[in-house]
Amino acid sequence: MSADEATFCDGVCYAKPCFEDSVNTQLQYLIELQKFDLRIFQILDQQKKIPGLLQAAEAPLRELQGRLQAMKHEGESLARQRKNAELELGSQEAQLQKVRARLSELKTNKEYQAHLFEIELARKKKDTFEEAVLALMERSDQNSQAIKELELQVEEAQKNFESEKAKLDKHAADLTNEIAQLDQEQKQISQSLEQSLLSRYNRLKTIRKGFAVAEIRDGSCIGCRLQLPPQLVAEVRRGDQLLDCSYCRRILYMANQLETESTE
């Protein structure tokens, strides 16, 4: 860059590499850039969670649908059982009539008594089938009622899921828009940074999930929370070069080095 291209400014400017750029100004660009990057990483994290949230929102609906399906299968099985029991009942009724009809053909009292016993047995058997049919009818009614109630619940769950999905879709779209905007703003600031510093920052950013520049507080790096050598702290305070944390390699600064508020 030549002096002709340079623009002079008293504060931070993101427009073009500034001739006046000091270590502190570069640092302020970095911190500004980091604000965008931290938000971008936050957004990427939120985006990753969306499929899981969608699944969780759909879970109650899936569960109710599963129960409804099982209930319908049970209803079909009950209908089949009832049909069989009704057939059995019909044939047992016919059998009873046949046995009764033979009563008039009997000659002796002994035969008559034995036959009455046979009629009683046939009647009991018929009663048993009748009870079975009634019990199956009752179970079918209960099943139909439960299906109706469950269908209402499924409908409700479907509505809830759709509204939840709409919210999540909107959230996902907002995040995508925000990230596009942040990318744009980030590019602008990047242009104000020295190329080698930008590369150094970008490398660190990838490793440290967007947290590449760290303040020194009470002699410790807030990135890794480790106590820094006093010599290093003193050098950072002097502010004539950008130095790394000895442990996590983040670029260090002190809040009082900067005129503006640096971290949020």
Least separation in angstroms between CB 241 and Zn ion: 17
User: Count of alpha carbons within 13 Å of 222, Cβ hemisphere only?
Assistant: 13
By CB under 5 A, residue 224 contacts Zn ion:
yes
Least separation in angstroms between CB 205 and Zn ion: 14
User: Among residues 242 and 248, whose Cβ is nearest to Zn ion?
Assistant: 248
Least separation in angstroms between CB 244 and Zn ion: 8
From residue 45, alpha-carbon distances to 29, 39, 206, 207, 245 in Å are 24, 10, 14, 15, 26
- Stretch of 106-114, 193-201, 213-221, 229-237 lying at the interface with Zn ion (CB under 5 A): 213-221
CA distance 263 to 162: 39
By CB under 5 A, residue 41 contacts Zn ion:
no
Interface map 240-259 toward Zn ion (x if CB under 5 A)? -----x-xx-----------
Query: Could you tell me the maximum CA-CA distance found in the chain, to the nearest angstrom?
Result: 138
CA distance 226 to 213: 15
Least separation in angstroms between CB 248 and Zn ion: 3
Asked if 224 contacts 184 with a C-beta cutoff of 8 angstroms, the reply is no
Least separation in angstroms between CB 252 and Zn ion: 8
Q: Select the residue interacting with Zn ion from 33, 64, 221, 243 (CB under 5 A).
A: 221
Strands 220-221, 251-253: pairing kind:
unpaired
Chain positions contacting Zn ion, by CB under 5 A: 221, 223-224, 245, 247-248
